[in-house]
Amino acid sequence: QLQLQESGPGLVKPSETLSLTCTVSDGSIGSSNYYWGWIRQPPGKGLEWIATESYSGNTYYNPSLKSRVTISVDTSSNQFSLKVRSVTAADTAVYYCARRVAGRPFEYWGQGTLVTVSS
């Protein structure tokens, strides 16, 4: 059974870079047909898709965040990561990593990690 686990600092200062890693338990990070993504949820609010990277290395970003975010997959470590630059309080959220198959929605999600932006 696939498990995804987010890790990273829970507190980031304004204007700094938020860095998160998602560890994939079953080694499928290098397999074809999978897409790896990040979604976030501000406290008490709804879900916002951030970015996705495909098995072939294509990346897709939410235009509202594209100038500040980078997603990358590291098959050698069974991990993928997210960086959000120049954070503000509006970036405070629970960040989820997730996996989907081509043509399907995100089926497997990590438990989420709360990142607070505050000085």
Partner 1 sequence: EIVLTQSPGTLSLSPGERATLSCRASQNVDSSYLAWYQQKPGQAPSLLIYGASSRATGIPDRFSGSGSGTDFTLTISRLEPEDFAVYYCQQFGSSPRTFGQGTKVEIK
| Selected binder of partner 1 within 7, 28, 48, 68 (CB under 8 A) | 48
Looking at the Cβ atoms of 16 and 42, the one nearer to partner 1 is: 42
How far is residue 29's CA from residue 18's CA, in Å, rounded to a whole number? 22
Give residue 80's Cα distance to chain centre: 8
**What is the chain's length?**
119
Q: Does 44 bind partner 1 (CB under 8 A)?
A: no
Which residue stretch of 11-19, 20-28, 48-56, 84-92 sits at the interface with partner 1 (rule: CB under 8 A)? Answer: 48-56
Tokens of 70: 């980078």
Closest CA to 97 of 43, 32, 29, 45: 29
Alpha carbon distance 84, 35 (integer Å): 19
Residues in 56-95 at the binding interface with partner 1, rule: CB under 8 A? 60, 62-64
**Residue 111 within binding range of partner 1, rule CB under 8 A:** yes
Helix (H/G/I), strand (E/B), else coil: 77: helix
Residue 15 is a binding residue for partner 1 (CB under 8 A) = no
Give the interface with partner 1 as residue ranges (CB under 8 A).
46-49, 52, 60, 62-64, 96, 100, 103-107, 109-112
